Structures are given as structure tokens and as C-alpha cells.
């Protein structure tokens, strides 16, 4: 089952990011915990790491905090060597789009091959601009 993060205005979808499976999202967060939080989940990035990935949402207020966290995460992950892909679909997408990660940030992308941290930052900004939460679907 895949995780889709999206923003809706009534019935109209404003934007969405298909992250991959829930396991892929957890792998992303686990790498952040292990490499950026020194194994202490939520020690530095509680909005991203401690939020349940079950049906829920990041509120507009949380989106602002999440944006700050993701910008730090993105910057720091660019300084860490690449990690292994977690799923077969990532290998297929990387081959299709010529993605050859040189750092940890480049190892995480959505199903369309777009950088995951960049796409998530975009969602947080849209959430704040539209005054709509980010939904977990």
C-alpha cells in the first residue's frame, strides 16, 4: 500500500506527492533518525519523525515547523554519502531517469523521480499559502 501526501481545497486536489510504500517512508525517517538524530527519534526533527503515518494530517501550523525541519534535513543529508535503495521501484525509477545518487538526499525521491525533500518542502509551502493541511492518504 502506498503513501500519498496531498493538499485539497474542498474536492480539488492542489498538489500531492506519492512517496512510495509506508515502508519507504519509514526507511526515509529511519535514515534521518540514524544519521541526523544520532538514534534518538524526534530529538531534532519531531514534526517529521514522530508523526504517525496512519490516516492523519500535518496541520497548517505543523507545516511551518515541518518546512524548517525539512530544509535542515535536506542540507545535512547532502553532506552524507548515498545509502542503499529500500525498494525495487526505486531502482527502476533511478534507472529510468538516470538518477545516480552521490549523497543521501539524492537517494530519496517520489515515484516520478523528483527529489523527496524538495517535494515535501513544496507541500509545506503550499499548505501555508493555501491554509490547508497536508493529508496522509
The single-letter DSSP state of residue 1 is -
- For cell 490547508, name the residue: 132
* pLDDT for residue 111: 93
Q: Residue 24's Cα: distance from chain center in Å? A: 10
- Report the distance separating Cα 57 and Cα 78, nearest Å: 27
d(CA 34, CA 45): 12
Output the pLDDT for position 2.
87
List the grid coordinates of 55: 490516516
What gap in Å lies between CA 134 and CA 127, rounded to an integer? 6
pTM for this model (two decimals): 0.94
| Structure confidence at residue 52 (pLDDT) | 82
Residue with cell 535542515: 72
Distance of CA 68 to the CA centre of its chain: 13
Point out the residues of the chain with pLDDT beneath 70.
Answer: 1, 55
Q: In Å, how far from its chain's centre is CA 16?
A: 11
| Cell 490516516 -> residue | 55
| SS3 label, residue 16 | strand
Contact 111, 20 (CB under 8 A): yes
Amino acid at each position: 500500500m502506498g503513501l500519498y501526501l496531498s493538499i485539497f481545497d474542498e474536492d480539488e486536489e492542489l498538489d500531492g506527492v506519492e512517496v512510495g510504500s509506508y515502508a519507504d517512508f519509514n526507511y526515509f525517517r529511519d535514515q534521518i533518525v540514524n544519521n541526523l538524530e544520532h538514534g534518538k527519534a524526534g530529538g531534532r526533527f519531531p514534526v517529521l519523525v514522530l508523526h504517525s503515518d496512519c490516516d492523519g494530517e500535518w496541520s497548517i501550523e505543523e507545516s511551518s515547523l515541518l518546512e524548517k525541519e525539512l530544509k535542515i534535513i535536506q542540507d545535512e543529508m547532502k553532506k552524507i554519502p548515498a545509502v542503499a535503495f529500500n525498494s525495487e521501484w526505486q531502482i527502476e525509477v533511478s534507472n529510468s531517469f538516470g538518477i545516480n545518487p552521490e549523497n543521501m538526499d539524492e537517494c530519496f525521491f517520489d515515484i516520478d523521480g523528483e527529489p523527496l525533500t524538495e517535494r515535501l518542502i513544496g507541500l509545506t509551502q503550499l499548505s501555508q499559502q493555501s491554509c490547508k493541511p497536508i493529508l496522509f492518504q
